[in-house]
Structure 1
Amino acid sequence: MPTYFSPGIYVEEVPSGARPIGPVGTSTAAFVGVAPDRTAHLGEALAVNNWTDFLRLYADGDQLESTPLARAVFGFLDNGGTRCWVVNVGEGGSISGTGRQRGGLSLLEAVDEISILAAPGFHDPVSHEALLSMAERTRTMVAICDPAPDIDDVSTLTRVATPGSGRPPKPSDADADAAPAAGGGSGSGSGSGPVSHRPRQSDFGALYYPWLRVRDPLSGELVLTPPSGHLAGIWARTDALRGVHKAPANEPVRGAVDLGHLVTRAEHDVLNPKGVNVIRYFPGEGIRVWGARTLAAEASEWRYLNVRRLSIAIEQAIANGTRWMVFEPNDYTLWRSIRRDVGAFLTRVWRDGALLGRTPEEAFFVKCDEETNPADVRDAGMVVAHIGIAVVKPAEFVVFKLSQWAGGTETETIGG
């Protein structure tokens, strides 16, 4: 209590005790690749908020050759992205970084706001492994892997490649002009390349096929380009319009005028169970994303992108919103505060439609009491809370039952 020395009325500001947990951003992307100006800002990770920023930082010169990185950043911004980080690895560089100085992906580990990771132009097994390892190590982002540019045999996308089966691409290998036109190509690879193109299983990665034909923002020519940049923009657009709990699928790909391969229904039936998200053309609707799976196993609870990304967002929000509890007395008051603050946050998430349940009690639970914090746990300086959520999964398959009766035809939805 404060000390008062004379009679009078004193006003004190008393904190309410409640500390609301706010949502975290989920739409900031990071791109690692070769910039049009190969020597621009090497060894740096810089934020880009619009196309003008990118041109000023990475394409400030005459007669610059466009790259997959430039097309990815443009596609990201064109499809709804608003902010991304860019790392230029330069001519012949590696996204993993070499030498004693940090470079490539390692430059992004200090940037907490990144939630989407891609390396347009790097589609070999070594690069895929670097992307997935980075996402799994941080547990705060999901990596978008690009397929090789010359795949017509989709079965190669169902077989997991190993890091030793391919070589990191040179800048010329990453040029979109080397990819075949829609429906064309020369088989399942370039002859010397690997015959397996699917990255390994991962709860923190996604793969999209095929490449997109777009108009290059620098040259104005129609070229094929990796899909990761455009898909990162679609993720950001879906997050802004519907929320991170909405699967980023059945969305048009802005800027895409054609596909590197027109996937058939039979081919799609092969790719979807293997976690390959297909980009398809539908007459009257255009080019759309027609998959929302991670590279996780078929039976994994993390096989859907929106489930994985929503869980990351909730984990990050709770971690940031409960940081004030560190060094607080580990007693009943703290446990009650955890239940109150986390419960209020998850109630808002449930009201947004991200959790499954008719009531908050059906959608989540928060347990923090003597049972989760016995004496040995408290003596170790820890406070433990058990939090469970029921995440809404996307309706990938909608099944209709048709039956004939005397009055006509009856349609009944029986599954989803």
Structure 2
Amino acid sequence: MSSATYLAPGVYVEEVPSAQQPIAGVGTNVVGFIGIVPPKIYVPVPNPDYDPVAARAAAELAELRAAGPGQPGDAAARARAAEAAAANLAVLRNTEDSLNRELTDLKTQLDAAQTAVNSAQSALDAANTAEQNATTAFEAATDANRAELQQALEDASAKQQRAQRAQTQAVQKFNRLDAAVNAKAAELTSLRASIAGTTPPAGGAAPAPAPDAAPAKLVEQEDDTYEDIKQDDTLLARSILRPFILQEFTLKVESLDTKLCTNFTEYAQRFGTFSAYKDTPDLPYDNPDLWTFSPMHPGHHALTHAVNGFFKNGGTKAFVCRIDREEQLEDALENFKSIDELAIIAIPGLPKSADNWEALMTHVENRENCFAILDSQQVVNDGDDNDLDVQQLNYTSAGENAALPRPCKNAAFYFPHIEVIDPAKLLQDGDVARKVNPKYRGRTYVAPSGHLAGIYARTDTERGVHKAPANCVIRGAIEVKYYVSKPVQELLNPQGVNAIRIMNNAVTVWGARTIGGDANSEWKYVSVRRLFLFLQKSIEEGTQWIVFEPNDEALWGKIRLNVSAFLTNVWRSGALFGATPEEAFYVKCDAELNPPEVRDLGQVITEIGVAIVRPAEFVIFRITQSTGAPRT
């Protein structure tokens, strides 16, 4: 109501509050990640002193020594082996001489640095004495010579400061040279041990093959512990025979603390970059082709690849939480409740177990406006061989052996794991003692949830939350753990197992269902469920102004107007089915829904119906032969 008074004739323009309060769509691409990460990790960095020629010679010499003298009577073979051993030994001897010269030169520089330190200390002592004398003289000065003595004191103080800087620089140089001498001496000791054949060729690298032969069938098993592995202290020192050095990194994040990361660099600064792998094979059989090297920090390894995959595939905003042990998952999820903008949650840095799946699904169900991305187990076999046991991914046939979580309309499940290049493993695999074929160096399998979360975020931004996050190439993935054929996917799809397949020579997401698939009825598609969650949260946040408004016909009209305007925009984006807004949705808020007994309870009820667009999961073309006659 206007407070103006109309006394003079004229035209008056008044401002009237609008009945429309625009509803803005909430964000759908903010992700939360959780992983088991120790407070201290080890990261491999390039070794500037690495000598690949000497490393290969040491490795070949070790192999020749391990092979023994050869078959009795095979003089030619023994002669070739002896010639090869002599050639490799000559290379190592030359390298030893070079290291000796370098060590001698460093020791000479160290002696000179010690002399410089002594000289700088003497100069500093003299400057300190001169400054003390000048101070004493100034304190006893009279008015007649105070100015002259003050200048002398200032000159003495400046000289003392210069002497102090010179002494500090001399000590720093000495310390650097002393460290270099110790490192070079350790390299020389390691090299001499390799020449003598008393230690592994790279001072802690893969040992000589075990005498036991590999079994006829080596069956993989799932890692359900995620326990950290203690590092070999020899890897912290430089060796010219090893291409990397392990460096210790202390995380800047406390347990159960959550940090916002908007790029991978921010994550690496707080949680550390790609961590190291074991330097010895898990099972050192006599066939190096069967050697596998596990991550030293499995939880950090999985979490780091997930976050990297998230940003690489289009993600822009992630909250990352580290925990010390698996039992803290519930606490981490509880902390996530305070982050209202979280729309997607994944736990790539934890074992893929039924308990962890259940904890995450229960959390998103109770939260109501959040969606979970679950990873399958890396190994899905029957224990007899390494072939895929697809029955474990079927609710009806797997029974207690199911490698599946229970059906859940607020979560999606992806299979199998994907293969990526790990920079840390790529560096470590360059060690010739690990005997990794060059084409396999750096390759490792990781859970796909982080990459999928990035695809969700990118699809939401480019197309909208109504677009199914499928038929998308996974950036950074080069292979899959198990090949999923069309017949196999026909078994997986009804269960809600979203397959990751090789399509047109690219690793592609080829599924868009919630866990349980057909069992979820109207919520069996990821895009449908996430669009509904988006509508629910947007309307909830965009209609807060209604609270405590007079519950009358005017309010009902405003509600219909505001919600209809929002849904019209959603329809125009292509998320709702229908040629007109009237076909796509309806909004009802009237006296029928809000009779006196409802209004007496302080309630206002609005009924909304939407026709959500379903993804074209099965594209069918009907083709027939034609005689060429015109069709009528």
Deviations 1:114-154 (A, max 9, x none): 11111003310000001100110001111111111111212
Partner of 1:96: 329
Asked if the contact 2:494–2:516 (Cα under 8 Å) also holds between the matched residues in 1, the reply is no
Partner of residue 41 from structure 1, selected from 254, 272, 280: 254
The CA deviation at 1:376 is 1.1
Partner of residue 292 from structure 1, selected from 494, 504, 512: 512
The aligned amino acid for 2:580 is T
Partner of 1:100: none
Partner of 2:389: 153
The aligned amino acid for 2:620 is V
Asked if the contact 1:34–1:68 (Cα under 8 Å) also holds between the matched residues in 2, the reply is no
The aligned amino acid for 1:303 is K
The aligned amino acid for 2:272 is A
Q: Give the alignment of 1:337-376 within 5 angstroms.
A: 337-376=558-597
The aligned amino acid for 2:376 is P
Partner of residue 113 from structure 1, selected from 332, 335, 341: 341
Q: Give the alignment of 1:387-402 within 5 angstroms.
A: 387-402=608-623
Deviations 1:291-333 (A, max 9, x none): 0000145151000000000000011110011000001111111
Partner of residue 86 from structure 1, selected from 290, 312, 320: 320
Relative distance call for 1:4 and 1:268 in structure 2 (3 A) is closer
Partner of 2:494: 273
Asked if the contact 2:274–2:424 (Cα under 8 Å) also holds between the matched residues in 1, the reply is no
Deviations 1:57-102 (A, max 9, x none): 1118996845101110100010000001111012x333533xxxxx
Asked if the contact 2:274–2:301 (Cα under 8 Å) also holds between the matched residues in 1, the reply is no
The CA deviation at 1:382 is 0.6
Partner of residue 415 from structure 2, selected from 195, 209, 233: 209
The aligned amino acid for 1:148 is Q
The aligned amino acid for 2:365 is E
Partner of 1:312: 533
Asked if the contact 2:391–2:397 (Cα under 8 Å) also holds between the matched residues in 1, the reply is no
CA distance in 2, matches of 1:67, 1:160: 34
CA distance in 2, matches of 1:62, 1:223: 13
Partner of 1:378: 599
CA distance in 1, matches of 2:503, 2:625: 30
The CA deviation at 1:41 is 2.2
Partner of 1:132: 361
Whose RCO is larger (CA < 8 A, sep 6+)? 2
CA distance in 2, matches of 1:160, 1:226: 25
CA distance in 1, matches of 2:479, 2:274: 30
Q: Give the match's secondary structure for 1:86.
A: strand
CA distance in 2, matches of 1:23, 1:61: 36
Partner of 2:84: none
Partner of 1:50: 263
The aligned amino acid for 1:82 is T
TM-score, length basis structure 2: 0.56
Asked if the contact 1:37–1:60 (Cα under 8 Å) also holds between the matched residues in 2, the reply is no
Asked if the contact 1:144–1:205 (Cα under 8 Å) also holds between the matched residues in 2, the reply is yes
Partner of 1:252: 473
CA distance in 2, matches of 1:60, 1:398: 43
**Of 151-160 and 133-142, the range deviating more from structure 2:** 151-160
Deviations 1:337-396 (A, max 9, x none): 000000000000000000000000000000000011111111111100000000000011
TM-score, length basis structure 1: 0.84
CA distance in 2, matches of 1:161, 1:37: 42
Point out where structure 1 has 5 or more consecutive residues left out of the alignment: 98-102, 166-193, 411-416
Partner of 2:304: 70
Say which structure is richer in helix: 2
CA distance in 2, matches of 1:156, 1:147: 11
Larger Rg: 2
Partner of 1:28: 30
The CA deviation at 1:216 is 2.2
**Of 113-122 and 312-321, the range deviating more from structure 2:** 113-122
> What is the percentage of aligned positions where both structures have the same residue?
42
Asked if the contact 1:206–1:295 (Cα under 8 Å) also holds between the matched residues in 2, the reply is yes
Relative distance call for 1:230 and 1:160 in structure 2 (3 A) is farther
Relative distance call for 1:161 and 1:336 in structure 2 (3 A) is farther
CA distance in 1, matches of 2:504, 2:23: 45
Partner of 2:628: 407
The aligned amino acid for 1:349 is V
Deviations 1:195-236 (A, max 9, x none): 211110111011000001112255442211001100000000
CA distance in 2, matches of 1:62, 1:122: 18
4+ long deviations beyond 4 Å: 1-13, 36-39, 60-66, 217-220
CA distance in 1, matches of 2:21, 2:397: 48
CA distance in 1, matches of 2:493, 2:557: 45
CA distance in 1, matches of 2:6, 2:29: 56
Partner of residue 444 from structure 2, selected from 215, 220, 223: 223
CA distance in 2, matches of 1:394, 1:225: 28
The aligned amino acid for 1:53 is E
